[in-house]
Structure 1
């Protein structure tokens, strides 16, 4: 068995669930999350210059997933702006939806950068500095995205901003 295959199997065995959870939080859709994980693994392990350090491999895969998610949201935004047929999403009665569905929908209203900041800050429990490093932007930009996201989520979920996140 090749070295990359052993590293691949070890990564999936030890951190596969965490990678799927991370992708699900970014996308909000189980199928899209699976696709995101597969695409990231393909990108990372397709290079054949993979080490054996599981922590480093996981970091590479997470970064590939984050980049892929943000890029796909940009492409989707361009596509939606140019496509000629618009389909309205089905409307659900709020009384029939669970709190988790409300949160998923609210997260779906955030921009890709805002959502990435929220996931990295509150799910991955990174500091603002670490989020800025991960996204390759300034700390002030992260703070602005988090502030805007908290305000938007508070309105969407009907809670005080202080208790929103």
Structure 2
């Protein structure tokens, strides 16, 4: 028997059997509709929120004082720009930090914190502890801190057309 002819026959028989099997299973199958419902956050993600009302009731002059009641969050360093945060014992490089949906992921100096915001201009701060939340962002292995600042409408609330906002390091912001 001729070996190349046998190999060619065996190859063509294998291909033909595969096409025959695919043609045989060509029947349409109707599937039932599947509805998936859920919330934005995973069940294991814990979110704590500091609101504008809570902030206005406090006399916080920096983010350390504003978030001092939050469990598992700690600030190290001195005051002002040298504050660095840890969330569940992990440093700020493993925490996604956003202010008005803009990432705060760079440092100018080595001992400078990444979360430098005047508490008088903060509207709401959301602290999400834990990894795995898609809304936390890319690279948030330990959670996220998301801050939204006040806008002009918040500063002029209750005033007609003009207003001003002034604060000192010892007193909270006042609107006149």
Establish whether TM, by shorter chain, passes 0.5: no
Whose Rg is larger? 2
TM range (shorter): under 0.3
Higher relative contact order at CA 8 Å, sep ≥6: structure 1 or structure 2?
A: 2
Higher strand share: 2
Output the TM-score relative to the length of structure 2.
0.21
